[in-house]
Every structure is written in structure tokens, then in C-alpha cells.
């Protein structure tokens, strides 16, 4: 049970079309998420870090089918053998009816209508900014109770009872039921958003930068709450953030994204101690250390993140990478396990090993 | 405070109040601060503690209903000392952007979206450095004169005359009329060329790749980091004595933040400006600053060397602040209580109701800001602030 994989993401792609010209035809694509393969274990908190615009949020939203993937597969709570079978069939015999059947039965991205509705109960999200994710004209009881209404699970006094129960879980009380979102502070609003996500008893929650809009002291409280809820509800988290110190504190495993690709995945301790990918290294080195004796006088990472419309060929980091070798500009490095589940996509690192 | 000569800017007992409908907000309550030549002074504190209004006071730009009700701000310019709060608005306009300039948190909000980078940067130069620009234009004309034939000579002489006239009085009638006449107004395009050269030079100093291209861009075409560089270029265009940076990296990614911090460090060496760096991020302070001033509820509570502050913090608030930094493997420690309302601030020491060392005297007498070690100032009764 401990190491059971809950979520398989296989070569997931999400491209946004850029429309142009007289007929508004597709002229280019923003490759927001490009061939991401990822596994998330049951009960863990998977941290996803990267700069703004690297596709973290898009990945999170695509995983729970809020955005339709362009390509790739999502397997939620599917046994390992079946996942392997589908992938094997895909390469061997992509047109077989068996594959079609299997995909229809197991792939999350094939689900629609009632089946998707059912899945949505298990997959929830908490957004970055609670001021925009909560309807200002709805009362707290309606906001938090709405998922129950949509899914036709409970109504009347039963719904009310459930709303109060979940509000108490997130540190609010019955008194708050008949209030509007604007009457709350930022931290409390985020608690309402969390309550709404949790009322359906989900198994997997995407936390999309949930602490970036609150003060430092409130941030600490929210992080405590997430830890607590994870135990109480047996949740699995995908924690998307650009704040490395927060991710380091809360996550079990961390993935580093750069320009739509995952470049390094490892357990938190391992990743922060033994960073391998040059980008991850540069990213971690950029975080200011609150200790003047440890000042970094060397020059920081140069240049800017290239446009995801036309990413560099080969390794996407190679134009900014100080260790880049010949092969980096030609071939895309695969994500390779270098031991202890530490995955890294870098030619230089894997050549050395 | 010790000998005044070593500071380029000194703030003494600054009192600032906002007269709002809810009541009088005592935003600054006797702030003392001094800045040495070519140093980076960090000003840290929580939201609403008065960091930003302190910096606005230095430029005498506090918006109504705010009013400066006491204290002194003196700026040293060579042998002269200028008391900023007593100066006339016209004189202050000459200081702002010239001797003292400022960069803000949200760079795109301070760039005009309908003008190119070049036009906006050029404006600063025209405002404060027109003389220099005209002189170099005249030199250019002189060089051309040597090679020119007879007809062109006449035109160039005319251009030179107009430039000289502009040097005396930029708004003179003849200059304004001449700038409307074709061919004669050629002196303007020569001046513009000079400005462009200077702008590109400035952008190059900011480590902007391809400065010629960036100069012709509009603000929306720039990334956040680029826009911040342009704003810094604008602030440094006139080589100011003091640069005030109000949380310039708060909205940027960490990698871009590291680039900007590095740039600020390099520019300090090059331009020899003092920098007042306002931030709430103690990591940035540790990385960048020479000295640190800690603010709490409208008071500077501690001022010392950056190594001293991190190694030997004296004021209980500074200690609590340092402990609240999230560090992996350690518990978050938050400061109990909340920041007090400044409409009815606590009596005596404003930190006393959250302070674990509070004594009886703390809620009665406001502690004085005294020097307790070499260049280490603190305002706390624990260290004899009552005497």
C-alpha cells in the first residue's frame, strides 16, 4: 500500500493554439506541457516547482481534466499491469480493438459525461487566489455546499450538516455559514476554498500555489492545515509552487519543471542535497539565504526563459547552461533514473554516471 | 548620533501622520536613519510598518492626507547641506530623479505604455542633463563643420547657434519657432541621436542584451525582469547620490531576482550611489545590504551592520523576525499577536504588547534610539533606551 502509484501521467502534452490570419487559423502552438511523464504515489505530497510560465499550473489542471490534454495518457488509480499493457499495445499495435477498449475503460482523458463526473469527485483543486476563485455573490454555505448540489449527493439539512462538518475541519465554524467571501481575511478565504475542495471527500487534490497570496505568518498556518488534512482525509497532493522553501517544508517528492518539461524528480531531501540538473541547481542557488556570511558573489543564471512557442531544440536549457556539450543542442535528454528514484533529464549528468 | 559629516542623507525624528476619516494614523513616529556614501542600507519590516512612506518622505512626495509634522531630512551635496522638507517644489523637482531617484515594486506600472523605452529614458536625460547633451551635440556639429561644403556650412552654423541658444534657455521663442521649420530643425534630430546614444549606453550598463532593439520596444514587449532593468536604468540615468529601491524584486521569479540583485551590486560599484533598499525579505537583505534598519509600527527599532544584525540581534522584534524565517527541518515560529493599528498605537514602546521581555516601563515611556555598540543602534528599554 505504501508505494502504490495512484496517478500515472504518461507523455502528457498540452498545447495551446495561437490563432492568426484572416480566417483565425492555427498558426503556432504554445507548448505549455510537453511530454511529461510522472508518477504520484498514494498518500504523498508531490511538489512541483519552476519559474512562472513553465507550465506548472497547466500540468496540474490538465491532470485533473480541467483542461483537455492534447496528447498522452492519464491513469488514475489503475493497476500497474494495465498501464504497462496499454503502453506496450500502443507501441506494438496502435490500431487494435483491445487497446481501444482498454483505453476507454481506464484512461482518464477518454472519460466524459457521467464517468468524468464520477471521477471529478475524487479529483479536486484549490486555486492560487481565493478572492477570484470564490463567487462574491454567494454565501459561504452555498459556496462550500455547491459541489454536493452539483453531484446530487446531499441536500437540505444533510447538506448543511456536511458543510458545517467540513468547515470545522478547516478551522472555520457554523457562525461563518451566512457570510460573503469579502467579509473574510485572505487566510480565511483560502480556508473556504479548501473546504469546498474537500467536501466531496476527494482522494487527490491539486494545490495551485495556495500560499502565494497570503502573508508569511498565515502561510505557516495554512501549511500546518494542509499537513493535518492530509492525515485526516488520506489525501494525495500535487503541490504547485514557485516558493522553494515552502515546497521543501511540505513535500515528500519534488519535480522541477523548465519550459513544459520535467527536468528532475527526486525525494525532497535528496533533491535539495544532491541536485543534479544544472537548471535545478541554478534555481536553488538563486534563493537568497538569510545569512550574510554565506553570500553568493558569483554571477547568477544568465538570460531568460525562452518562449514556449518555439523552444530550443534538444535540451531546452542548453542555451543558458554552462555545462552544455555538443549533444545537448541536438538530442533531447530522456528522464533517466540515476538511483534511489532520482530522475534527471540531462546529458551531462547521465554521461558521467 | 555621531559625526554628521559621514552621511549623505540623514533623517532625524521624522513624524508623519495621515488624517483619515477613521482617525489620525501615526504612520511614522520619530524615525531616525542615516545613509553613508556608496552603501546599501536595507530597510526591513512587515507590511504597513512605514517603510514605503519613509522613502516617499525623502523625496517629499507623501500623498495627502499624509502630513510631515516634524523632524528633519538633510541631504549633503558636496559642501552644501540641503534640508529637503524646507525646499520649494521647483527645487525639489530638480532633485528628484537627479540627486535622489527611486525604483518601484511593479516596474510595468511605472512605465508609460504608449511610449517606447527610448522616449521614456530620454525624457529623464532631457529634464536633468540637457546641458551635457547639447554640448556633445555642438561638438558633433563642430566635427562636421570641418568637412562640410559651403552650403552645408551655413546650415550647420545655424544648428550650432540654435543649440547654443537652447543651452541658455531651452524654451526660448527662436528655438521653438526654428524647431518647426524643415531643414532648420535638423538640430533636433542631432540632439535626438545624442540621446539615443546615451540611452543605449545606459541599457548596456544594465546588462540588457541587444540594447538597440530594446530601446525601440514598448513596455508591454518587455519581460518583468527586463522592465525592472529599464526602470533601474531610468533611475540611474543621472547618476544619483541616493537610489531608493522599494521592493524592486518582489514580483519577480527567484532566478530573475538573483540577476537583478547581482546587477544592483555591480551598479553600486560603477555609479558609486548609495542605495536605500526596502524589502520584507531577510534573505535579500543578507545577500545584498551593508547595513540594516529594522522598522516596526512607524519606528526604526534597530540599525546595525548586516553581519551584526544576523549574528547579534538585540531588539526583541528583530530576534522574532529572524526566527520567523522558514528553514527546512525547523518549525515555523510566528510572532504572537498582530501588528497594532497605527490609529491608536500602543503607548510607550509600540512593541511592548507582543514582546516577551516587556517590563513595566515599556508601556509608559518610549525608548530612545541609542548607540549600544559600534555603529549599532537600538530603541529598547532592555538596553538602556530610557536614559
Dump pLDDT digits (tens) for B160-211: 888 888 888 888 888 888 888 888 888 888 888 999 999 999 999 888 888 8
Report the distance separating Cα B246 and Cα B236, nearest Å.
15
Q: How confident is the model at residue B245 (pLDDT cuts 50, 70, 90)?
A: very high
Closest approach of B324 to chain A, Cα-based (Å): 8
**How far is it, in rounded angstroms, from Cα B182 to Cα B104?**
41
pLDDT at A105: 87
CA distance A341 to A271: 11
Measured between CB atoms, which of B259, B282, B332 is closest to A300?
B259
pLDDT bin (cut points 50, 70, 90) of residue B4 is very low
Q: Which of residues 217-246 of A touch B (CB under 8 A)?
A: 217, 220-221, 223-224, 242, 244-246
First to last CA, chain B: 15
Contact A217 B326 (CB under 8 A): no
Whole-number average pLDDT of chain A: 88
Is the CB of residue B210 less than 8 Å away from at least one CB of chain A?
no
- Taking the C-alpha atoms of residue A87 and residue B34, their distance in angstroms, rounded to an integer, is 67
Residues A51, A305 contacting (CB under 8 angstroms): yes
- Helix-helix angle B186-205:B117-147, to 10 degrees: 120
More confident residue, B44 or A288: B44
Q: Considering only CA atoms, which of B201, B235, B236 is closest in space to residue B215?
A: B201
**B348 — phi, psi (to 5°)?**
65, -135
Those residues with Cβ within 8 angstroms of residue B64's Cβ, 6 or more apart along the chain or in another chain: none
Output the nine-digit C-alpha cell for A103.
Answer: 483505453
pLDDT above 90 covers what percent of chain B? 19
Bridge partner residues of A28 (DSSP):
A18
Give the residue, B223 or A146, on which the prediction is more confident: A146
Q: pLDDT digit string (tens) for A144-157?
A: 999 999 999 988 99
Contacts of A303 in chain B (CB under 8 A): 209
A154 touches chain B (CB under 8 A): no
B285 interface with A at CB cutoff 8 Å: yes
User: How far, in whole angstroms, is CA A215 from its chain's centroid?
Assistant: 22
Residues B286, A299: C-beta atoms closer than 8 Å: no
From start to end of A163-277, where are the E strands? 204-208, 236-240, 253-258, 261-267
DSSP structure string for B273-337: -EEEEEES-HHHHHHH-SEEEEEETTEEEEEEEHHHHHHS--SHHHHHHHHTS--TTS---PPSS
Q: Which residue of B has its CA nearest to A302?
A: B259
| A189-198 mean pLDDT | 93
Give contacts of A294 with chain B, Cβ < 8 Å. Answer: 286
Give burial (CB, 10 Å; 0-12/13-18/19+) of B98: middle
Cell of B325: 524565517
Q: Report which of residues A18 and A298 the model is more confident about.
A: A18
CB contact under 8 A, A290 and B324: no
DSSP string, B56-106: HHHTT-PPTTEEEEEEEEEEEETTEEEEGGGS-HHHHHHHBTTTEEEE-S-
Distance linking the first and last C-alpha atoms of chain A = 32
Contacts of B286 in chain A (CB under 8 A): 288-292, 294-295
> Could you tell me the strand order of the sheet in which B291-296 lies?
B100-103, B242-246, B274-279, B40-44, B291-296, B299-305, B376-378, B370-373
> Which neighbouring-strand residues pair with A15?
A31
Structural contact between residues B214 and B203, judged by C-beta atoms closer than 8 angstroms: yes
What is the Cα–Cα distance from B303 to B285, expressed in whole angstroms?
Answer: 13
The pLDDT tens digits of the residues spanning B326-369 come to: 666 666 666 766 677 788 888 888 888 888 888 888 888 888 88
Instruction: Return d(Cα B199, Cα B220) in angstroms, integer.
Output: 19
Q: Which tens digit of pLDDT belongs to each residue from A21-67?
A: 888 888 888 889 988 999 999 999 999 998 888 888 899 999 999 99
Kindly determine whether residue A301 and residue B326, on different chains, have CB atoms separated by under 8 Å: no
Report the chain A residue with the minimal C-alpha distance to residue B337.
A217
DSSP H/E element including B259: helix B254-271
Q: Exposed, middle or buried by CB within 10 Å (0-12, 13-18, 19+), for B173?
A: exposed
Separation in Å, CA A276 to CA A170, A319, A345:
38, 18, 9
This prediction's pTM: 0.81
- Can you tell me which residue has the cell 504554445? A30
Which of B209, B259, B325 has its CB closest to that of A290?
Answer: B325
Residue B110 predicted with pLDDT over 90:
no
CA–CA dist B170, B162 (Å, integer): 10
CA distance B226 to B232: 10
Task: Write out the three cell numbers for B144.
Answer: 562636421
| Chain A: residue whose CA lies nearest to B286 | A292
The residue whose grid cell reads 540581534 is B313
Given a cut of 50, is residue B126 above it in pLDDT?
yes
List beta partners, residue A14: A33
- Torsions phi, psi of A117, nearest 5? -55, -45
Q: Which residues of B touch A215 (CB under 8 A)?
A: 46-47
Residue B66 contacts A, CB cutoff 8 Å: no
Whole-number pLDDT of residue A136: 93
ipTM higher than the 0.85 cut:
no
Q: Do B257 and A286 touch (CB under 8 A)?
A: yes
pLDDT in tens, B337-349: 667 778 888 888 8
* Cα B297 from Cα A300, distance rounded (Å): 35
Grid cell, residue B174, equals 527662436
pLDDT at B249 over 90: no
Amino acid at each position: 500500500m505504501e508505494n502504490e502509484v495512484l496517478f500515472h501521467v504518461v507523455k502528457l502534452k498540452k498545447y495551446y493554439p495561437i490563432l492568426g490570419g484572416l480566417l483565425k487559423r492555427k498558426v503556432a502552438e504554445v507548448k505549455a506541457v510537453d511530454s511529461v511523464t510522472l508518477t504520484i504515489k498514494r498518500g504523498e505530497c508531490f511538489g512541483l516547482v519552476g519559474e512562472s510560465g513553465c507550465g506548472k499550473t497547466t500540468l496540474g489542471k490538465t491532470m485533473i481534466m480541467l483542461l483537455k490534454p492534447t496528447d498522452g495518457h492519464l491513469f488514475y488509480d489503475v493497476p500497474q499491469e494495465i498501464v504497462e499493457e496499454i503502453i506496450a499495445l500502443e507501441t506494438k499495435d496502435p490500431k487494435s480493438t483491445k487497446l481501444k477498449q482498454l483505453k476507454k475503460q481506464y484512461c482518464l482523458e477518454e472519460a466524459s459525461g457521467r464517468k468524468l463526473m464520477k471521477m471529478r469527485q475524487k479529483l479536486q483543486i484549490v486555486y492560487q487566489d481565493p478572492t477570484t476563485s470564490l463567487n462574491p455573490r454567494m454565501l459561504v454555505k452555498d459556496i462550500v455546499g455547491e459541489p454536493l448540489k452539483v453531484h446530487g449527493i446531499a441536500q437540505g439539512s444533510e447538506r448543511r450538516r456536511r458543510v458545517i462538518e467540513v468547515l470545522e475541519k478547516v478551522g472555520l465554524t457554523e457562525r461563518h455559514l451566512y457570510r460573503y467571501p469579502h467579509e473574510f481575511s485572505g487566510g480565511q478565504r483560502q480556508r473556504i476554498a479548501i473546504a469546498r475542495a474537500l467536501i466531496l471527500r476527494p482522494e487527490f487534490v491539486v494545490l495551485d500555489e495556495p500560499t502565494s497570496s497570503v502573508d508569511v505568518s498565515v502561510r505557516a498556518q495554512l501549511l500546518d492545515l494542509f499537513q493535518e488534512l492530509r492525515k485526516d482525509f488520506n489525501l494525495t497532493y500535487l503541490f504547485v509552487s514557485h516558493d522553494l522553501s515552502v515546497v521543501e517544508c511540505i513535500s515528500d517528492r519534488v519535480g522541477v519543471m523548465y519550459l513544459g518539461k520535467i527536468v528532475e524528480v527526486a525525494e525532497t531531501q535528496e533533491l535539495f542535497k544532491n541536485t543534479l540538473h544544472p537548471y535545478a541547481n541554478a534555481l536553488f542557488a538563486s534563493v537568497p539565504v538569510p545569512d550574510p556570511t554565506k553570500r553568493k558573489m558569483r554571477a547568477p543564471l544568465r538570460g531568460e526563459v525562452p518562449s514556449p512557442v518555439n523552444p530550443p531544440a534538444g535540451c531546452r536549457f542548453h542555451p543558458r547552461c554552462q555545462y552544455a556539450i555538443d549533444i545537448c543542442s541536438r538530442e533531447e535528454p530522456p528522464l533517466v533514473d540515476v538511483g534511489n528514484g532520482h530522475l534527471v533529464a540531462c546529458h551531462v549528468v547521465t554521461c558521467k554516471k | 548620533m555621531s559625526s554628521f559629516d559621514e552621511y549623505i542623507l540623514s533623517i532625524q525624528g521624522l513624524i508623519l501622520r495621515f488624517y483619515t476619516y477613521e482617525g489620525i494614523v501615526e504612520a511614522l513616529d520619530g524615525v531616525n536613519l542615516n545613509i553613508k556614501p556608496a552603501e546599501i542600507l536595507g530597510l526591513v519590516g512587515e507590511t504597513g510598518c512605514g517603510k514605503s512612506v519613509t522613502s516617499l518622505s525623502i523625496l517629499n512626495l507623501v500623498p495627502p492626507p499624509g502630513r510631515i509634522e516634524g523632524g528633519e531630512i538633510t541631504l549633503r551635496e558636496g559642501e552644501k547641506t540641503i534640508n529637503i522638507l524646507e525646499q520649494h517644489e521647483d527645487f525639489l523637482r530638480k532633485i528628484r530623479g537627479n540627486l535622489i531617484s527611486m525604483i518601484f515594486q511593479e516596474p510595468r506600472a511605472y512605465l508609460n505604455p504608449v511610449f517606447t523605452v527610448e522616449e521614456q529614458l530620454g525624457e529623464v536625460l532631457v529634464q536633468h542633463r540637457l546641458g551635457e547633451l547639447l554640448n556633445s551635440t555642438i561638438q558633433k556639429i563642430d566635427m562636421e563643420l570641418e568637412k562640410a561644403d559651403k552650403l552645408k556650412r551655413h546650415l550647420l552654423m545655424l544648428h550650432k547657434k540654435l543649440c547654443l541658444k537652447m543651452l541658455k534657455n531651452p524654451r526660448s521663442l527662436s528655438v521653438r519657432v526654428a524647431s518647426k521649420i524643415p531643414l532648420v530643425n535638423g538640430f533636433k534630430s542631432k540632439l535626438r541621436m545624442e540621446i539615443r546614444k546615451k540611452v543605449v549606453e545606459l541599457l548596456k550598463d544594465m546588462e540588457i542584451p541587444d540594447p538597440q532593439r530594446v530601446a525601440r520596444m514598448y513596455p508591454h514587449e518587455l519581460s518583468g525582469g527586463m522592465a525592472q532593468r529599464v526602470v533601474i536604468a531610468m533611475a540611474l540615468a543621472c547618476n544619483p547620490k541616493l537610489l531608493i529601491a522599494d521592493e524592486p524584486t518582489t514580483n519577480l521569479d527567484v532566478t530573475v531576482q538573483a540577476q537583478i540583485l547581482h546587477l544592483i551590486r555591480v551598479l553600486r560599484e560603477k555609479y558609486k550611489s548609495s542605495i536605500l533598499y526596502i524589502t520584507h525579505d531577510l534573505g535579500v537583505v543578507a545577500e545584498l545590504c551593508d547595513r540594516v534598519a529594522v522598522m516596526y509600527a512607524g519606528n526604526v527599532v534597530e540599525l546595525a551592520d548586516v553581519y551584526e544584525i544576523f549574528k547579534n540581534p538585540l531588539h526583541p522584534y528583530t530576534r522574532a523576525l529572524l526566527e520567523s524565517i522558514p528553514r527546512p527541518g525547523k518549525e515555523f515560529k510566528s510572532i504572537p499577536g498582530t501588528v497594532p493599528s497605527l490609529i491608536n498605537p500602543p503607548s510607550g514602546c509600540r512593541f511592548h504588547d507582543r514582546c516577551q521581555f516587556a517590563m513595566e516601563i515599556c508601556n509608559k515611556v518610549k525608548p530612545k534610539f541609542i548607540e549600544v555598540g559600534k555603529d549599532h543602534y537600538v530603541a529598547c528599554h532592555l538596553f538602556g533606551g530610557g536614559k
